[in-house]
């Protein structure tokens, strides 16, 4: 079995103007995907990896979340990005800007808007995302907005397919939106360290961190009045149904999102409204959820300044600049590889 999200194989790279898109997800193998998902569903407590949120519908819903009044992280980070001296961070070298989890590319567009058109000729943009649909939309929209910008899009799992990242040219890595917070704290440290190993002296790493703030503000951002986050959370069950051929009924579950102060994170769960039997052809029997049992679908860690500095230090990076809004609700840390 091959290929875990439908699509073309890596060899069928698609071109759009001066942009290319390659799908490397099939290399991870469907069998491994099925066994990973089943392993997590048999764990106690049950869980589903948050990377499965992002099929075409999940990516669309996430963009809708970023526009909600309650979801402060995007507009706060965007305001910081609008002031970011990108020209100073990249200099006048030929450079790859590699964005991990680029989503709907709205943030790189804000950053590239700040560059003069002659500076853009030195840039190759390399968005890396697990969502093929998000990258397809991105390359088309970027071609219209920044004609001539070289784009090499990579559909891949950035945690397990780091070897696919370009190595030769000078690089600026971007990991925005506090997507780093969706990894557990140890995973985040190891991930930044692994990426850093692919960097050369002089390369930079820009990481967005959502900061700790009033619990009410945090919890509202994940419990919006119009229920978009609820739809986003439940959509993960449709993705899982497609991958493991299970029969989860999303409306049998209630969306739960709350701040866990001891872990300093928002947790999202799907809680069974009644006793459930879930069937899946890859297991001999069904598996059961009792009423009130929950499936943990996402962690969104929040960061103190010392957490941010520790992540850079563990990777051997120098913390060069920290850009924050006036309330310190969100910070962008610019780390430099010096040796
Ligand atoms: N950076 C954007 C999008 C954040 S949403 C922003 O700040 O708005 C998180 C993005 O990361 C999604 O587009 C999702 O598809 C992608 N993603 C999540 N897990 C991933 C993984 N393991 N590998 C590659 N992309 C991943
Ligand atoms: C992508 N990531 C940083 C978002 C977050 O805030 O953790 C995903 C999200 N989940 C619910 N709302 C937004």
Cα distance between residue 50 and residue 16, in whole Å: 30
Instruction: Give me ligand 2 centre to Cα 143, in Å.
Output: 27
CB-ligand 1 contact for 96 (6 Å cutoff): no
- pLDDT greater than 50 at residue 181: yes
pLDDT for 12: 54
CB-ligand 2 contact for 66 (6 Å cutoff): no
Comparing CA positions, the residue from 181, 172, 180 lying closest to residue 205 is: 172
Looking at the CA of 104, which ligand is closest?
1
Q: Which atom of ligand 1 is nearest to the CA of 158?
A: 23
Instruction: Give me ligand 1 centre to Cα 199, in Å.
Output: 21
Per-residue model confidence as pLDDT tens digits over 233-283: 999 999 999 999 999 999 999 999 999 999 999 999 999 999 999 999 999
Q: How confident is the model at residue 26 (pLDDT cuts 50, 70, 90)?
A: confident
CB-ligand 1 contact for 62 (6 Å cutoff): yes
Cα distance between residue 158 and residue 57, in whole Å: 20
Cα distance between residue 230 and residue 223, in whole Å: 7
In percent, the amount of the chain with pLDDT more than 70 equals 96
**Which long-range contacts link 49-52 to residues 24+ away (Cβ below 8 Å)?**
50/182, 50/236, 50/297, 50/298, 50/299, 51/130, 51/157, 51/159, 52/236, 52/239, 52/240, 52/243
Give the residue, by CA position, lying nearest to ligand 2 atom 6. Answer: 300
Per-residue model confidence as pLDDT tens digits over 202-235: 999 999 999 999 999 999 999 999 999 999 999 9
CB-ligand 2 contact for 300 (6 Å cutoff): yes
- pLDDT greater than 60 at residue 8: no
Cα distance between residue 284 and residue 291, in whole Å: 23
Reading the block at residue 5, the tokens are 């999200």
Average confidence score pLDDT of the chain: 94
Looking at the CA of 135, which ligand is closest?
1
pLDDT for 116: 80
Reading the block at residue 165, the tokens are 């990242």
Q: Supply the pTM of this predicted model.
A: 0.95
Comparing CA positions, the residue from 152, 207, 201, 125 lying closest to residue 174 is: 207
pLDDT for 56: 97
Looking at the CA of 107, which ligand is closest?
1
């Amino acid at each position: 079995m091959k290929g875990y999200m439908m699509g073309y194989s890596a060899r069928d790279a698609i071109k759009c103007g001066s942009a290319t898109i390659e799908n490397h997800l099939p290399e991870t193998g469907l069998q491994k995907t099925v066994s990973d998902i089943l392993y997590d569903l048999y764990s106690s407590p049950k869980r589903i990896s948050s990377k499965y949120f992002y099929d075409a519908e999940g990516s669309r819903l996430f963009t809708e979340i970023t526009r909600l009044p309650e979801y402060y992280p995007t507009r706060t980070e965007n305001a910081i990005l609008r002031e970011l001296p990108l020209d100073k961070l990249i200099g006048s070298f030929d450079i790859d800007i590699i964005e991990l989890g680029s989503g709907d590319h709205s943030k790189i567009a804000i950053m590239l808007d700040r560059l003069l058109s002659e500076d853009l000729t030195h840039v190759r943009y390399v968005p890396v995302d697990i969502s093929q649909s998000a990258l397809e939309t991105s390359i088309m929209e970027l071609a219209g907005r920044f004609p001539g910008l070289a784009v090499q899009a990579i559909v891949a799992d950035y945690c397990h397919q780091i070897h696919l990242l370009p190595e030769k040219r000078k690089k600026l890595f971007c990991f925005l939106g506090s997507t780093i917070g969706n990894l557990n704290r140890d995973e985040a440290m190891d991930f930044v360290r692994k990426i850093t190993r692919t960097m050369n002296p002089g390369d930079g790493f820009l990481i967005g961190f959502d900061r700790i703030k009033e619990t009410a503000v945090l919890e509202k951002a994940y419990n919006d009045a119009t229920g978009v986050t609820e739809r986003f959370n439940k959509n993960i069950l449709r993705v899982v149904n497609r991958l493991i051929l299970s029969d989860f009924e999303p409306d049998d579950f209630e969306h739960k999102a709350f701040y866990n102060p001891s872990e300093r994170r928002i947790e999202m769960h799907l809680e069974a409204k009644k006793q459930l039997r879930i069937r899946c052809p890859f297991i001999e029997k069904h598996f059961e959820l009792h009423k009130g049992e929950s499936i943990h679908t996402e962690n969104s860690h929040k960061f103190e300044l010392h957490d941010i500095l520790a992540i850079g230090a563990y990777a051997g990076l120098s913390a060069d600049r920290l850009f924050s809004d006036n309330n310190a609700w969100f910070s962008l840390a610019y780390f430099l590889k010096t040796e």
